[in-house]
Structure 1
Amino acid sequence: MATFEVEGGAPLHGEITPQGAKNEALQILCATLLTPEKVTVRNVPAIVDVLQLIELLEKMGVKVGHPAEDTYTFEAREIDFGYLQSEDYRKRAARLRGSVMIIGPLLARFGEGYIPKPGGDKIGRRRLDTHFIGFQKLGARFDFDTGTCFYSVEGKPLRGCYMLLDEASVTGTANIVMAAVMAEGTTTIYNAACEPYVQQLCRMLNRMGARISGIASNLLTIEGVKELHGTEHTLLPDMIEVGSFIGMAAMTQSEITIKNVSFDNLGIIPAQFARMGIRFEQRGDDIYIPRQDHYEIESFIDGSIMTIADATWPGLTPDLLSVFLVVATQAKGSVLIHQKMFESRLFFVDKLIDMGAQIILCDPHRATVIGHDRKVRLRATRMTSPDIRAGVALLIAAMSADGRSVIQNVEQIDRGYQNIDGRLNALGAKIKRLDGC
């Protein structure tokens, strides 16, 4: 188990470029199963979750090329369905949440798909009903083997229909869209997720020959086609990493420039940091964050405490609430962080309280943070990263703390952030990676 040893109090200075978007990558890589032709994907982040999915696709029979550091090619000419019944497939797919999006493309192209119950972060209930109800509406038969924890779907041909999703699930929308692109007739999906990553997927599918309209809205219309073709695609920069760097700069009193952020695809993220009192400038497609000794959280017009809550796009992504929470600990003022979607994502706050943060965990979904306004620095401690986003929040806390902190289980951070210690050390951070500690 790898460990970070972090010496707090080191300000950062310089430029950093965000990696390719993890959540988009998982959708796009699964979509390569929809065609036997070559698909080239650029700006692919070298993070654990993405590399595991690429390895899984290879095991399934996809021919994978790696012509450049951040570029991969995929040719899914034949799929080994025997492997999909194997113990090795079960183990590999079960440890990766994004593997669930394999099943939609397999169903569309081959009329059948199998996936074990996926793993991923332990952040609360993450049900898959939306995915499989959507497949059933398209005419597929669904089965779940409680003994082996295997999901299976079969159905050919699929037929287009109208469906109203019970929740605007990002992965659910992506999975259903990929299943519907080759269904007979027209499929209408209402209450679809419309995050930039779903938009990217739909645009890529259209370049492959799909007919999807309503992109960027919550009402998608898909006219089924007989086949899809090869294409090239470049991933967006990771908005979660951009937000993490904004919060990190404010918390550590740093002056940094975040390069090539695709500002138009950040949605409400910059505005929410501005409400935290964090100053920044948009310079072309870069974000410049000056050094700030203090930042003050706004209040609502009536004087009541600011609330920052997650919501479906174009609302605030839940993946950044951990960062907002930790940044608030050194702000002037108070804020209520409301994590609506996942009931276990705030349970890392006990570690921040141990560091001296003033936080009241109201219930599994809400925490009130009373900022120190830098009058009291967080103190160093030893802690364990529980999931990807909480792990980065703890890293930010350790970088601002007084003394040397130790973060265990940093493999969780590696799942979502590429070479984070090396990239931050290049800006002046003092992070030492220790293997096997």
Structure 2
Amino acid sequence: QDGAKIAGVGTRTLTIEGVKSLRGCRHACMADRIETLTFLAAGAITGGDIVVDGCSPGVITKELEALRVAGATIECMKQEGIDSPEQKIHVIGPKRLQPVSVITSTYPGFHTDFQPFFSTLMALADGQSTITETVIEGRFSHLGELAKMGAQIEIHNGDFTCPNGKQGQIATIDGVDTLHGANVYCHDLRAGAALLIAALAADGETVIENAPIIDRGYENIDGKLLGLRAYVSRQ
């Protein structure tokens, strides 16, 4: 739209040919796909029924399909009243999640940033699943914390390396009927947010330590969850 010459949009490789000048245009920024997926996961794990506004479903197709296979009902709908490609997504969580094995990858594959949320969902699935992390090593810090809540998880090294040359890992998750509240620690942004949605589905109270790190990736996540009638407070 600005007059730039760019080939390969939507693929892993962009080829850009310089031009003498660019012109102005009006552009709508893409929605935050991980925030979108966070709330979709929250709806799925609690058996909830929620609508997430301001979404870009075209960039989370792999993740939406995984949620559908796990039993969630997902419907993408046009966002009325705004001049942008954004849509809203309606999610209805199942009575019991079904096990789904996934392998993380670079875009347009299954996003590594959604892996902590999806593995949390699988902790409550009706059967065994495997989560193979091929992008970033050490991305399973939340799983040890989930074990404190009753999750049944084993982690072992894979026979592959991540792009940085370090060994990747595979988590085998045997779903349990329920999680229970516990004191857990937020090791990083996505791990902390994953523990937050686990707490929504757990029996009893969960205390998440080092929670401010979650704020790096979300605006007013407490207020949004409270708006969904979750019980969340800061100490």
- The question of a shared fold, defined as TM-score above 0.5 by the shorter chain, is answered with yes
Question: Corresponding residue for 1:370?
Answer: 174
Q: Distance in 1 between matches of 2:13 and 2:93?
A: 42
Question: Corresponding residue for 2:95?
Answer: 293
SS at match of 2:27: strand
SS at match of 1:318: coil
SS at match of 1:399: helix
Which one has a larger percent helix, Structure 1 or Structure 2?
1
Q: Distance in 1 between matches of 2:51 and 2:135?
A: 31
Count of matched residue positions in the alignment of Structure 1 and Structure 2: 217
1:399 aligns with 2:193: no
Residues 25-40 of structure 1 mapped to structure 2, 5 A cutoff: none
SS at match of 1:418: coil
> CA offsets, 1:277-302, max 9 Å, x none?
222233333222224321222xxxxx
1:326 aligns with 2:153: no
Counterpart of 2:89, as a letter, is I
Q: Distance in 2 between matches of 1:223 and 1:378?
A: 53
Q: Distance in 2 between matches of 1:386 and 1:219?
A: 32
Give identity over the alignment, percent. Answer: 34
Residues 25-424 of structure 1 mapped to structure 2, 5 A cutoff: 207=2, 209-226=3-20, 228=22, 232-284=26-78, 285-297=87-99, 306-363=100-157, 365-372=169-176, 374=177, 377-424=178-225
Counterpart of 1:391, as a letter, is G
* Structure 2: tracts of 5 or more residues without a match: 79-86, 158-167
When the two structures are superposed, what TM-score results if normalisation uses the length of structure 2?
A: 0.84
Q: Relative to structure 1, is the Cα distance of residues 223 and 338 closer, same or farther in structure 2, using a 3 angstrom cutoff?
A: same
> CA offsets, 1:165-213, max 9 Å, x none?
xxxxxxxxxxxxxxxxxxxxxxxxxxxxxxxxxxxxxxxxx61x43222
Q: Distance in 1 between matches of 2:229 and 2:208?
A: 19
Q: Is the 8 A contact 1:338 1:365 kept in 2?
A: yes
Q: Distance in 1 between matches of 2:122 and 2:110?
A: 16
Counterpart of 1:386, as a letter, is H
SS at match of 1:342: coil
Q: Relative to structure 1, is the Cα distance of residues 277 and 292 closer, same or farther in structure 2, using a 3 angstrom cutoff?
A: closer
> CA offsets, 1:250-286, max 9 Å, x none?
2112111122322223221111111222222333332
> CA offsets, 1:97-116, max 9 Å, x none?
xxxxxxxxxxxxxxxxxxxx
By how many angstroms is 1:215 displaced? 1.9
Q: Is the 8 A contact 2:11 2:108 kept in 1?
A: no
The counterpart of 1:428, out of the listed 217, 225, 229, is 229
SS at match of 1:344: coil
Counterpart of 1:327, as a letter, is L
When the two structures are superposed, what TM-score results if normalisation uses the length of structure 1?
A: 0.47
Q: Distance in 2 between matches of 1:249 and 1:344?
A: 27
Q: 4+ residue stretches of structure 1 with deviation over 4 A?
A: 226-232
> CA offsets, 1:111-170, max 9 Å, x none?
xxxxxxxxxxxxxxxxxxxxxxxxxxxxxxxxxxxxxxxxxxxxxxxxxxxxxxxxxxxx
SS at match of 1:280: strand
SS at match of 2:206: strand
Q: Is the 8 A contact 1:240 1:320 kept in 2?
A: yes
SS at match of 2:191: helix
By how many angstroms is 1:308 displaced? 0.4
Counterpart of 1:278, as a letter, is A
Counterpart of 1:252, as a letter, is T
Q: Distance in 2 between matches of 1:292 and 1:214?
A: 38
SS at match of 2:234: strand
Which stretch has the larger CA shift, 319-328 or 395-404?
A: 395-404
Q: Is the 8 A contact 1:346 1:366 kept in 2?
A: no
Q: Is the 8 A contact 1:342 1:365 kept in 2?
A: no
Counterpart of 1:413, as a letter, is I
Per chain length, whose mean CA-contact separation is higher, i.e. which structure has more relative contact order (CA < 8 Å, sep 6+)? Answer: 1
Q: Distance in 1 between matches of 2:68 and 2:152?
A: 22
Q: Distance in 2 between matches of 1:227 and 1:266?
A: 33
By how many angstroms is 1:229 displaced? 5.9
Q: Relative to structure 1, is the Cα distance of residues 291 and 265 closer, same or farther in structure 2, using a 3 angstrom cutoff?
A: closer
Which stretch has the larger CA shift, 261-270 or 402-411?
A: 261-270
* Structure 1: tracts of 5 or more residues without a match: 1-205, 298-305
Q: Relative to structure 1, is the Cα distance of residues 354 and 314 closer, same or farther in structure 2, using a 3 angstrom cutoff?
A: same
By how many angstroms is 1:348 displaced? 2.2
